[in-house]
A = this chain, B = another copy of it.
Amino acid sequence: MLEASAFLRAEKKRLTPQRSLLLGIIRQHGHLDADEIYRLARRENPRLSLSTVYRTLNLLKELGLVEELHLGEEHHHYEAKAEEHHHLVCLSCGKVIECRLTEDLRELGRRHGFTMVSAQVELAGYCADCRKQGENDP
């Protein structure tokens, strides 16, 4: 069920039911935090522990299968790693728009003599829908 098994075997790691469950959940949702992942996973496996969630998250990060997002909040969010992309967060409805700004950002760095390798970017503002719908906080 998981090509992840290749990644795991390559490092003497084991493919446990907990790990496939968690990776599955992360892959079918976006921007989950550890606790949301935990709650979703427990519906399948009520004995799962929160430590296992965190340990698995760290493992999947190391394997490059999952990415940790530092959105403005005090805790982290996670998503399955796909193409690099960035986040535009609507201050009114909370929607998170994903878009790929990599090349544009690299160019901005270049203008300052900087060779960008990766970018952590979060724009806060208003989405088109909310902008239409009347005067929100300016």
Binding site for B on A (CB under 8 A): 70, 72, 88, 90-91, 97, 99, 101, 104-105, 108-109, 112-128, 131
Task: List 28 interface pairs A-B (beta carbons < 8 Å), by A numbering.
Answer: A70-B72, A72-B120, A88-B109, A88-B112, A88-B114, A88-B116, A97-B112, A97-B114, A99-B112, A104-B104, A104-B108, A105-B123, A108-B123, A114-B125, A114-B126, A114-B127, A115-B131, A116-B124, A117-B124, A117-B125, A118-B123, A118-B125, A119-B121, A119-B124, A120-B122, A120-B123, A120-B124, A121-B122
In the bound complex, residues from chain B placing their C-beta under 8 Å from that of A72 are 70, 120
CA distance A50 to B122 in the complex (A): 30
